[in-house]
Structure 1
Amino acid sequence: MNIAPIYQRKDWNALSEEAAAAILQHVTATQLPGFSISRFERFHKFDQDTYTAILTFQGREFVFVPGDTVVLGLDQWHVPAATREDIAGLMETSPAEVDAYVLERLSPLRTVTISPMVVARTVSETGYYWVELTDERLLSDPDFERALQELKATSREKYTYIVNASFRLEKNGATITAFLYEPATYEELVQTVTDSGFRLPTEDEWEYLCGGGTRTFYPWGNQLNEQQVYRHFSADRDSTLPYFLDTPNHFGLVIANNPYHYEVMMDSEWFLKAGDGGCNICGGGGLHLGYLSVGTYFRDPGIFDEDLSYKDEITGDYTFVRSIKRLQ
């Protein structure tokens, strides 16, 4: 079967849904052992459209993403004057210095060819792994019994309790689940992922997955839509409605939706993307400054801070991974 359309989006998008489905069934059967197609779906968001397959592997959902040759990066930052002035006020600086601040944090313009791939639809946490509530390592922790009783006593239906990063308890109704924390270096984390038969995205791949090659700061444009609701800034929202960025994008991925969540890259100098660990929000940065870090082409230079030592312990509450598998 001719699978050439999977390498260029314009060719992929020109296929009928029947032809696209047949190719994806063939690719799954020949290149993706252990994967199964659960359904086909068309995603439309931010003026981009993709017909694709939702696949499952060991209980996790993946989505097929066609390859392409695209321009990534930015050398300009177009933003309304009011937004620039708002950020300048929060930073106690001038609008011109805000421009300089953002421009030095943009990835450079470059043309890249991205391989087709299957991609985990959501990120996975790092460092925590499930254990029984009777695990001796929990029972020997001096904080465990107190935390367990407090969690049982809370009236909240769902609640997460983290204690000194050594363990985490989650309540869902009457069920309480425990997770122990085990640190890992950057090299150890990448090795664990590759040993499982997957890899992590490069910075180029991540920017493509996030923005699809759009020439704007965010996938949808150059400013936030203040009519939408965003995590950490919508305490009074209707809890039955999802946050704006928590719904699947044009590839069917939930990506760059939370400034507190870094995603780990591999084979790239900039090894963390998608956020700033919540630094700007915690510093009182407000919506516009707080959400700069989820911009498609934003780079956080703080990841190279020697005092933070990210690569010595890359796991934890602020770093997440997204497994991908390139197709041939």
Structure 2
Amino acid sequence: MDLFEQVEWANWKNLKDPEKEGLLQQLLMYFVPPTVEINTIQLVNFELYGIKCRTFELEFDGELFVFIPGNSEAILGWDLGAEGLRSHELLGFDVEDLEKNTFKTTLTNEEISPVSEWLEEEPQYDLTSLEGISDYINEYTTNLRKVAIPAMFVQKYALPAGTEFLGIFDTVTGSFEGEVEQFFPYEEIICAQLFPKLSAEESFTWSFPKSLLVKNECYLEFLPESDYYFVYSHNDFTHEELKLAVKRQGFDLLSQNQWEFAVGGGTRRLFRWGNELLIQDNESGRQIKSKMDGANMFGLVIDTEQKHFELTDDLAKSKLINQLVEKETIIEKMLPLSTYFHPRHMISADQKLSPKEYLYRKVIKIES
């Protein structure tokens, strides 16, 4: 087998650790630009919903990446509607009520024509019936298809658009930990925003902002239930400008196909963590939430707050969602977290990408 065949998922999972380590050294030599600093490398195990992957987690330029094996015949997309989901969760029924409700559907795996890339008037769906819910799911997920996915080094955490991570700012001590030299030019403006001079009356109502953006300077995001901000440098980029900036660093953005494989592993489930939709405040609900928020089967962490779109290399094909309006039904609330969800969202060529609304994830692709 040549190098590309060995890093196929079907072959990679059968390799012993020394063989994987030898392959990794070749990949780093041939595919990672010499300008990229390679730091910590470790073999780690990831698992989600019974899918296990022993792979590498490593640092490129101080940022965490994971190695994801390729799949030359990955099945992506969805045409199965509500199949596999729990009907009583979808319809809000008690389990005892299920005997009174029946549903039969004819669902196929046949490929259908590509979705048009222009905006259309949003159709209405009967989200009180399983048939209507199935139609809604099929409409808002990508087409069933078989594609070739290369092996990839993929950034573990997505970053706000136009930013690079610098470090962490402690609001209690006013101290910063991270890239001190890069943070220093922004320190005065950050402190002025976070520690304003307030009157006694104003101090009772003032609170730290959830985020702070100084365009082409810096961007800060507050970590919930903490005293810390993540601090980033910021450039006010369009989609194309961001792609070029990432390319200059030796990376790319994921395509829609690559994003879906990296997030869902090519499994035939609507959600990477399983079929649960209803997240209750109990031990079972906390376990589901832990799977949703934790690393997936390849070690990636995916945003679940529904406050951001995640960019791909195509400005017409964003993933996830910035949910501005609270939705009523559970499928409307949860479907944006599906691996195959595609929002009706367009980015214009001249649009500057707000870090409050968009995320991006860097990748190095193992391609000939």
Q: 1:112 to 1:147 in 2, by over 3 A?
A: same
Question: 2:56 pairs with 27, 49, 53, which one?
Answer: 53
Structure 1 unpaired stretches of 5+: none
Counterpart code for 2:26: H
Does the residue aligned with 2:12 lie in a helix, a strand or coil?
A: helix
| 1:84 positional shift | 2.5
60-69 vs 6-15, greater mean Cα deviation: 6-15
Instruction: Tell me the equivalent position of 1:119.
Output: 154
Instruction: Tell me the equivalent position of 1:321.
Output: 360
- Would you say 1:39 and 2:42 are equivalent positions? yes
Paired residues of 1:228 and 1:244 also in contact (CA < 8 A): no
213-222 vs 177-186, greater mean Cα deviation: 177-186
Does the residue aligned with 1:49 lie in a helix, a strand or coil?
A: strand
Does the residue aligned with 1:252 lie in a helix, a strand or coil?
A: coil
Deviation digits for residues 205-233 of structure 1 (CA, Å, limit 9, x no counterpart): 0000011111110123333363688xxxx
Counterpart code for 1:104: E
Q: Sequence identity, in percent? A: 23
317-326 vs 124-133, greater mean Cα deviation: 124-133
Instruction: Tell me the equivalent position of 2:299.
Output: 252
- Would you say 1:276 and 2:276 are equivalent positions? no
Question: 1:264 pairs with 293, 311, 319, which one?
Answer: 311
Q: 1:192 to 1:47 in 2, by over 3 A?
A: same
- Would you say 1:28 and 2:28 are equivalent positions? yes
Question: 2:250 pairs with 184, 192, 197, which one?
Answer: 197
TM-score (norm 2): 0.69
Deviation digits for residues 42-70 of structure 1 (CA, Å, limit 9, x no counterpart): 21212111111112111111111110021
TM-score (norm 1): 0.77
Aligned partners of 2:53 and 2:126: how far apart in 1? 42
Root-mean-square deviation over aligned CA pairs = 3.9
Question: 2:76 pairs with 64, 67, 72, which one?
Answer: 72
Question: 1:215 pairs with 264, 268, 275, which one?
Answer: 268
Q: 1:293 to 1:177 in 2, by over 3 A?
A: closer
Instruction: Tell me the equivalent position of 1:84.
Output: 90
Q: Which structure would you say has the larger Rg?
A: 2
Deviation digits for residues 73-114 of structure 1 (CA, Å, limit 9, x no counterpart): 111122222232249xxx985324333222111100110011
Aligned partners of 2:362 and 2:87: how far apart in 1? 39
Counterpart code for 1:276: I
Q: 1:250 to 1:134 in 2, by over 3 A?
A: closer
Paired residues of 2:273 and 2:291 also in contact (CA < 8 A): no
Does the residue aligned with 1:317 lie in a helix, a strand or coil?
A: coil
Instruction: Tell me the equivalent position of 2:15.
Output: 15
Paired residues of 1:133 and 1:178 also in contact (CA < 8 A): no
Aligned partners of 2:281 and 2:17: how far apart in 1? 32
Does the residue aligned with 1:209 lie in a helix, a strand or coil?
A: helix
- Would you say 1:291 and 2:334 are equivalent positions? yes
Structure 2 unpaired stretches of 5+: 94-124, 167-181
Aligned partners of 1:84 and 1:176: how far apart in 2? 37
Aligned partners of 2:148 and 2:352: how far apart in 1? 32
Aligned partners of 2:302 and 2:334: how far apart in 1? 13
Q: 1:4 to 1:127 in 2, by over 3 A?
A: closer
Does the residue aligned with 1:249 lie in a helix, a strand or coil?
A: coil
How many residues of Structure 1 are paired with residues of Structure 2 in the alignment?
303
Q: 1:192 to 1:217 in 2, by over 3 A?
A: same
Q: 1:309 to 1:150 in 2, by over 3 A?
A: farther
Counterpart code for 1:97: G
Does the residue aligned with 2:196 lie in a helix, a strand or coil?
A: helix
Aligned partners of 1:177 and 1:208: how far apart in 2? 28
Paired residues of 1:160 and 1:169 also in contact (CA < 8 A): no
- Would you say 1:162 and 2:211 are equivalent positions? yes
Counterpart code for 1:41: V
| 1:254 positional shift | 0.8
Q: 1:104 to 1:174 in 2, by over 3 A?
A: closer
113-122 vs 160-169, greater mean Cα deviation: 160-169
Aligned partners of 1:138 and 1:27: how far apart in 2? 42
Aligned partners of 1:146 and 1:35: how far apart in 2? 35
